[in-house]
């Protein structure tokens, strides 16, 4: 089958022939229809330090997708051939304490599809059936293909009650932008988002931000007074991974504020701990999606009117995948979809 493979230690991916994946008795085989390019795939494309120490050469990558079940192991229950599915990219061990308690998102032995095991940029993906998630008919393929990052946005945004709250999101990448739409959908008051990229801030505006702030030009505190905010933000969602964005967030949180951290900063980033202690902030780290509570919420929000379509800005056929990656690298895009023949 065809797949996008990291053939050598360096930038890029190659469209190559690889063996069709093997399937165990608890697995489903998914024929891939559409995939989306994740920030993680960009790290792998660029072959940065993290990618070089994490991804084995010869691996085909990718973990945002929708497809159709074309074969099933004999122990699989609850699915049928032809079911349209996306899937949870974190494959968990099933025997650690958290897995056994039903908190699979906290499994200490998590393995990542398209990172530590063969991925979805391929004609076929083999996946434990327990990780597959059926997509209702009224949700389009393109949206189903981005359930993984939509799930990151959902898990983070729904970590705290947003009803009537003033929410600050730092980082208008695809995930931050989706978080804007979710915060709006569930009833936040002001939803303010920061970035240094105007293309993406415009997109965030279209998705319902009360105010977008280019922190290279504008001061967040000025925007707060313009909005009549006197005390500070109630909830912060850090979605940039940029240390200065997190520092800035801590400065404008209200006392008793709640902060969820999704963005991945350099390992030993320093902050002013006095902001955390004397303000009594609550800080929560977010990894992946809750299995599978996040997935049910994602479906429910789309079915109750959440519109994520503006985030889908580019679509390419597989043979134009280089263009797809270049578009994503340019920063002038929302989500980029690759269509499999």
* Active site annotation includes 43: yes
Residue least distant from ligand NAD (Cβ) = 173
Whether cis (ω within 30° of 0) applies to the bond prior to 292 is yes
* Closest of 152, 194, 158, 211 to residue 335, by C-alpha: 152
Instruction: Compute the CA torsion angle 96, 102, 107, 113 (nearest 10 deg).
Output: 120
Site string for Zn ion, 65-94 (x = CB under 5 A): ---------------------------xx-
Which region, judged by CB under 6 A, interacts with ligand NAD, from 17-25, 54-62, 241-249, 306-314? 241-249
198: left (phi over 0), alpha (psi -120 to 50) or beta: alpha
Catalytic residue among 43, 90, 105, 185: 43
**Given the structure tokens 């989500």, which residue do they identify?**
335
Residue 321 annotated as binding?
no
Which region, judged by CB under 6 A, interacts with ligand NAD, from 15-23, 113-121, 125-133, 233-241? 233-241
Which region, judged by CB under 6 A, interacts with ligand NAD, from 61-69, 269-277, 283-291, 299-307? 283-291
Distance CA 242, CA 332 (A): 19
Quick one: DSSP state of residue 94? S
Distance CA 97, CA 105 (A): 12
Distance CA 150, CA 176 (A): 10
Q: Which does 20 bind (CB under 5 to 8 A by kind): Zn ion, ligand NAD, none?
A: none
Residue 24 annotated as binding?
no
Min dist CB 261 to ligand NAD, Å, is 8
* 240 binding ligand NAD? (CB under 6 A): yes
* Active site annotation includes 25: no
Residues in contact with Zn ion by CB under 5 A are 92-93, 96, 99, 107, 109
Q: List the binding residues for NAD(+).
A: 175, 195, 200, 262-264, 286-287
Which residues have a catalytic role annotated? 40, 43
């Amino acid at each position: 089958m065809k797949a996008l493979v990291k053939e050598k230690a360096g930038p890029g991916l190659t469209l190559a022939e690889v063996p069709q994946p093997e399937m165990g008795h608890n697995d489903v085989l998914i024929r891939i229809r559409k995939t989306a390019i994740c920030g993680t795939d960009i790290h792998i494309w660029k072959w940065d330090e993290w990618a070089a120490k994490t991804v084995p050469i010869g691996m085909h990558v990718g973990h945002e997708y929708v497809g159709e079940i074309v074969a099933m192991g004999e122990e699989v229950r609850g699915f049928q051939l032809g079911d349209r599915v996306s899937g949870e990219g974190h494959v968990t061990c099933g025997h650690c304490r958290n897995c056994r308690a039903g908190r699979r998102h906290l499994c200490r032995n998590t393995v990542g599809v398209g990172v530590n095991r063969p991925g979805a940029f391929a004609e076929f993906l083999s996946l434990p059936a327990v990780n597959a998630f059926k997509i209702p008919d009224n949700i389009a393929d393109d949206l189903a293909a981005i359930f993984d990052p939509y799930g990151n946005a959902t898990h983070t945004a729904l970590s705290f009650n947003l009803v009537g709250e003033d929410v600050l999101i730092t980082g208008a990448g695809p995930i931050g932008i989706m978080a804007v739409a979710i915060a709006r959908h569930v009833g936040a008051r002001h939803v303010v988002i920061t970035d240094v990229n105007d293309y993406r801030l415009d997109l965030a505006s279209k998705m319902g931000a009360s105010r977008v702030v280019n922190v290279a030009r504008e001061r967040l505190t000025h925007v707060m007074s313009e909005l009549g905010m006197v005390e500070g933000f109630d909830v912060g969602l850090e979605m940039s991974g940029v240390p200065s964005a997190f520092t800035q967030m801590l400065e404008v949180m209200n006392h008793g504020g709640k902060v969820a951290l999704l963005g991945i900063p350099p390992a030993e980033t320093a902050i002013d701990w006095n902001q955390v202690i004397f303000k009594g902030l609550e800080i929560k780290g977010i990894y992946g999606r809750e299995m599978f509570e996040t997935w049910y919420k994602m479906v429910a929000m789309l079915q109750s009117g959440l519109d994520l379509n503006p985030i889908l800005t580019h679509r390419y056929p597989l043979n134009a995948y280089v263009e797809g990656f270049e578009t994503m690298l340019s920063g002038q895009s929302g989500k980029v979809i690759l269509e499999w023949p």
